[in-house]
Structure 1
Amino acid sequence: MLAKYKRILVAVDGSKQADKALAEAVEIAKRNDAELFVVQVIDDLRMLVHSATPMTQIMAEESRIAKEAFNQKRQTIDYAKAEFIVKDGNPKKELANGLPKQYAIDLIVMGATGKGAIERMLVGSTAAYVVNYAPCNVMIIK
């Protein structure tokens, strides 16, 4: 390992690969004594397009579900320097640009694929986008 990482972002979405990425990120954070940012980005555009329910209601429910999932993950993560973040927006742009700049991230860890297999075929992989546009190192977990 050439770099000592100080601020690590791991993207989670409830998929098995995201869980693997989280486990890997925790171990990297421990080895580097780094801060760990566990992030779930709720895709606000996808929610708007696929529902007749008011946007605020959808986002509130998605946020509640994400926070419940984080509370469960928090119990399994044995690392005091972990911060959990739920963010609304475009997952590709937030993970590649917004969050790394906002939190001065020097490593992004994420699964190769997430929950949205159909969307990935239509609009491209979030992981591929992050690899191409992130301002820092990106580790993809298979």
Structure 2
Amino acid sequence: MYQRILVPVDGSATSNCGLEEAIRIAKLTHGQLRLFHVIDDLSFALALGSDSGLSNDLLRSLRGEATRILDAAQATARAAGIEADTRLCDAFPGPVQDKVASEARNWGAELIVLGTHGRRGAKRLMLGSGAERILRVAPVPVLLVRAPDEEDAAAELLRASASALAAAGE
């Protein structure tokens, strides 16, 4: 079960939550991971702005950053004893969700695991949900791993600090 797990990564804390869960699943199933990063056309266009003369340098820079993200994710998986390969997609144009779905089909993924902010209400309407878009087009099951809210993370940090102070005072 779930021998081939596709993990879209972007280097964010939210993405890393998805990676950590994928590693846990791969340990249980003796599966392998494919770490996948997309340089999408919108990001490229926004980073490029109006100066098209820099497009080759910009794309080289974006590819370098993407490689760094993939290498870091691969190192995390390997440190946990999980086999992971990487794939960078910078084929323009097309939405990220279509690239993820295509990679899942072409690689023969059995599961996609990715982090999500878990936005609701107005934030979701304003910012959209990349995870939801992937969920809608995915050819295989998708596991969404909700990253802690900033408020949840801050509250946890305060609890941990209070516990450490209490322990130090004893």
Q: TM-score range by the shorter chain?
A: 0.7 to 0.9
CA distance in 2, matches of 1:63, 1:85: 11
Question: Could you tell me which residue of structure 2 aligns to residue 83 of structure 1?
Answer: 85
Q: Pick the aligned partner of 1:94 from 99, 106, 115.
A: 99
How far off is 1:49 after superposition? Answer: 4.0
Of 18, 21, 44, which aligns to 2:18? 21
Higher RCO, 1 vs 2 (CA within 8 Å, ≥6 residues apart): 1
Aligned to 1:128: 132
User: Taking structure 1 as reference, are residues 92 and 121 closer, same or farther at Cα in structure 2, changes over 3 Å only?
Assistant: farther
- The question of whether the paired residues in 2 share the 8 Å contact of 1:127 and 1:140 is answered with yes
In 1, the alpha carbon distance for the partners of 2:70 and 2:87 equals: 9
Identity %: 29
Check conservation: 2:114, 2:143, Cα contact below 8 A.
yes
Query: How big is the shift at 1:50?
Result: 4.0
- Asked whether the 8 Å contact 2:26–2:82 carries over to 1, the reply is no
- Partner Cα separation in structure 1 for residue 134 and residue 74 of structure 2: 25
Q: 1:37 to 1:57 in 2, by over 3 A?
A: same
Range that drifts further, 72-81 or 103-112: 72-81
Work out whether residues 44 and 59 of structure 1, in 8 Å CA contact, stay in contact via their aligned partners in 2.
no
**Richer in helix (by share):** 2
Aligned residue for 2:33? 36
Asked which structure has the greater CA Rg, the reply is 2
Determine which structure has the larger strand proportion and give its number: 1
Give unpaired runs (5+ residues) of structure 1. Answer: none
Aligned alpha-carbon RMSD (Å): 2.2
Given the alignment of the two structures, is residue 71 of structure 1 paired with residue 95 of structure 2, yes or no?
A: no
Structure 2: segments with no counterpart, 5+ residues: 147-170
Alignment length (residue pairs): 133
Output the CA distance in 2 between the equivalents of 1:76 and 1:49. Answer: 30
Secondary structure of the equivalent of 2:81? Answer: coil
TM-score (norm 1): 0.82
